[in-house]
């Protein structure tokens, strides 16, 4: 284990910044909430749905189940892989901004672990295509996150 902190780790933030390149494989980031029965509810997010903003993380969620879970608990976990490092970030929702078909969340990282045993990891991936970008409304989602970031970046 490399370390635990309550901040948005720079290595994790770097993974969340790039825009998916058409016809290339991109990392899918498991985002875990807890359902009413106490079980994990997993959804996969990509970089257009995740945006570092100072020490906060902005997240766009379309899933009505995940949104209900987040309204009830106010917490989630984000998982990412980078080379030999796994990142686990426990998030607390500070604010929610509703949009047609999705919500933008401002989250604080309350706990982050940069975990490594020196074993090469392969992140979960998907093949980015223009059709996926259009179906998932990446441009509109990212525009909403950027507007939120520009209004509310915390020092």
Q: What is the pLDDT of residues 22-79, one digit of tens each?
A: 999 999 999 999 999 999 999 999 999 999 998 899 999 999 999 999 999 999 999 9
The fraction of the chain above a pLDDT of 90, given in percent, is 91
Q: Please return the burial class of 118, using the count of CB atoms within 10 Å of its CB with bins 0-12, 13-18 and 19+.
A: exposed
CATH number for the domain spanning 142: value is: 2.30.110.10
Maximum distance among all Cα pairs of the chain, rounded to whole angstroms: 43
pLDDT at 1: 46
> By residue range, what is the domain housing residue 50?
3-152
Q: How far apart are CA 41 and CA 36, in angstroms?
A: 10
Total structural domains in the chain? 1
């Amino acid at each position: 284990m490399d370390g635990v902190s309550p901040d948005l780790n720079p290595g994790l933030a770097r993974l969340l910044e790039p825009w998916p390149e058409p016809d290339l494989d991109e990392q899918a980031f498991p985002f875990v909430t807890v359902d009413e029965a106490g079980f994990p509810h997993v959804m996969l997010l990509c970089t257009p749905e995740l945006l570092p903003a100072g020490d906060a993380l902005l997240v766009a969620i379309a899933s009505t189940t995940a949104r209900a879970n987040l309204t009830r608990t106010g917490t989630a976990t984000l998982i990412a892989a980078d080379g030999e490092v796994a990142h686990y970030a426990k998030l607390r929702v500070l604010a929610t901004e509703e949009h047609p078909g999705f919500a933008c969340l401002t989250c604080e990282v309350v706990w982050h672990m940069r975990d490594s045993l020196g074993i090469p990891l392969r992140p979960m991936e998907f093949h980015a295509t223009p059709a996926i970008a259009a179906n998932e409304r990446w441009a509109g989602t990212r525009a909403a996150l950027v507007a939120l970031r520009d209004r509310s970046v915390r020092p």
